[in-house]
Amino acid sequence: MKLTVVGCSGSFPSAESACSSYLVEADGFRLLLDMGNGALGELQRHIGLYDLDAIFLSHLHADHCIDMCGYFVARYYRHEGGRCDAIPVYAPEGAEQRLTTAYADTPSPTSMSEVFDFRTLTTGGFELGPFTIRTARVCHPVEAYGIRVEHEGRVLAYSGDTGVCDALHDLADGADLFLCEASFTHGKEDIPELHLNGREAGAHATRARVGRLVLTHVPPWTDGERNLADAREVYGGPAELAKAGAVYEV
Ligand SMILES: [Zn+2]
Ligand SMILES: [Zn+2]
């Protein structure tokens, strides 16, 4: 699998990065995990606008899904070749209505479903192109999911947004690469069931025995290097901060 960090800023974009968005590719299939603020522009640095095969939205906070409004325009009003076919969009319940409301002026209440085939996420597993997918509810103030993507024995796990959470251990169990959020700073912010700090992300990585930890969703006002140092205190494997444009072979 090839993983490209399209955007990794938490909560709002930074000068260096768009919000959450990660491209996962294998056997020519292209799955995008989240499409936060600014991600649609960055995505076009890596693939063509119409090259996606499926989209996963971990939850409906704007920093994970709001560029779907722009992507609706691109697919619905395509200038050459007419309207695009509907690609699968795995998202929490109510995604179509929420995105339609955010867009504010779709031709009809169901226009989005003409170019997006919305499929409601639950905790469970399914096959998607060459991938075996498992999703699970994680701890966040809104319905939110983490995801485990497997391909030919290799495993990528992505936390989405979550506080400390048992489900995350199952998703990340033995993962070759664990893309884990670290929004908070250890000893500074302590709001349960919202986000992880670097130390908590490291502890999850250790418990799940992952091969590599990539910290992501660090907001512009948070010191990523400090979160990385905190993670390294409790996780002994390779660990780094996600950077926009970074590519990993998983
Ligand atoms: Zn977020
Ligand atoms: Zn969130």
pLDDT digits (tens, 9 = 90+) for 122-143: 999 999 999 999 999 999 999 9
Task: Give CATH for domain 2-249.
Answer: 3.60.15.10
* Residue 52 Cα to ligand 2 middle (Å): 23
* Residue 48 Cα to ligand 1 middle (Å): 25
The pLDDT tens digits for 128-183 are 999 999 999 999 999 999 999 999 999 999 999 999 999 999 999 999 999 999 99
Residue 63 pLDDT > 90: yes
Contacts of 67 (CB under 8 A, 6+ apart): 21, 35, 36, 37, 38, 39, 40
- The single-letter DSSP state of residue 16 is S
> In angstroms, how far is CA 29 from the centroid of its own chain?
17
**DSSP letter string over 184-200?**
B-TTT---TTT--BHHH
**Domain limits, the chain:** 2-249
The pLDDT tens digits for 220-232 are 999 999 999 999 9
* Residue 38 Cα to ligand 1 middle (Å): 13
Average pLDDT over the chain, rounded to an integer = 97
* The pLDDT of residue 190: 83
Q: Quick check: helix, strand or coil at residue 38?
A: coil
Residue 192 pLDDT > 90: no
